[in-house]
Amino acid sequence: MKPVGAKVREDVFKALVERAEAEGVTVSEIVRRAIIAYLGKPVEQPLEARLKELEARVARLEELLARQPVVEPTASGQARKPREGSEYVKTVSVEWASRRGLNIEEYMRRREREGYICNDTASHVICVWREELEQAVVELNGAKAKVGEVGKVLSGVRLEVAKAAEKAGLLWFDVHEGRWRI
């Protein structure tokens, strides 16, 4: 194959990256397909390329599945969702846990089984309700919010969850992609 280069606007490049991520392929593959389609040539992928794409997709799915918490169902078979706003964020100081003899790793595993996502900082263990954090990310990215604009887009429980997740390092703004990530 011969290399081809082109410069595109920033918004076009972001769209290419998003499309490639959605399909589990590289940006080069998306561009290659577009050129072949534009020229009206038949799209033939070698078996190796198709196998590589499939392996990349499987790896991405396995990564996403590994990040999902195992949520213990209630008697009705549904995950137990917190009832009150303050129940969406659980914070424990490392000092308090140490004095009480609390195993921090076990505490985090237990919370994650319940439906939280947790991280420990130098001074605290912070757990936030995963579903609310995921919805906050959807809202932030939908509003194209930047760093410092969380309070302008979110309110109530989602704002509380997002602020706690930022403090815990669970939520951040990816400058290169221009979007919020967990």
Q: Do 71 and 115 contact (CB within 8 A), yes or no?
A: yes
pLDDT value at 11 more than 90: yes
Give one DSSP letter per residue of 124-150, joined into a string.
EEEEEEHHHHHHHHHHHHHTT--TT-H
pLDDT at residue 84, rounded to an integer = 47
**Coil, helix or strand at residue 8:** coil
pLDDT at residue 14, rounded to an integer = 93
CA-CA distance, 122 to 118, in Å (whole number)?
A: 14
**Burial of 116 per CB tally in 10 Å (0-12, 13-18, 19+):** buried
Cβ-Cβ contacts under 8 Å for 31 (sequence gap 6 or more): 4, 6, 16
Tell me which of 68-82, 140-154, 155-169 is least confident.
Answer: 68-82
For residues 15-41, average pLDDT: 86
Q: What is the pLDDT of residues 165-179, one digit of tens each?
A: 999 889 888 888 888
pLDDT band at 99 (very low <50, low <70, confident <90, very high): confident
Cβ-Cβ contacts under 8 Å for 147 (sequence gap 6 or more): 173
Query: 147 or 45, which is more confident?
Result: 147
pTM beyond 0.95: the answer is no
The proportion of the chain whose per-residue pLDDT surpasses 90, expressed as a percent, equals 10
Q: What is the pLDDT of residues 82-94, one digit of tens each?
A: 554 468 898 888 8
pLDDT at residue 10, rounded to an integer = 93
Q: What is the pLDDT of residues 129-141, one digit of tens each?
A: 899 899 999 999 8
pLDDT value at 147 more than 80: yes
What's the chain's average pLDDT? Answer: 82
Query: 78 or 106, which is more confident?
Result: 106
For residues 90-99, average pLDDT: 86
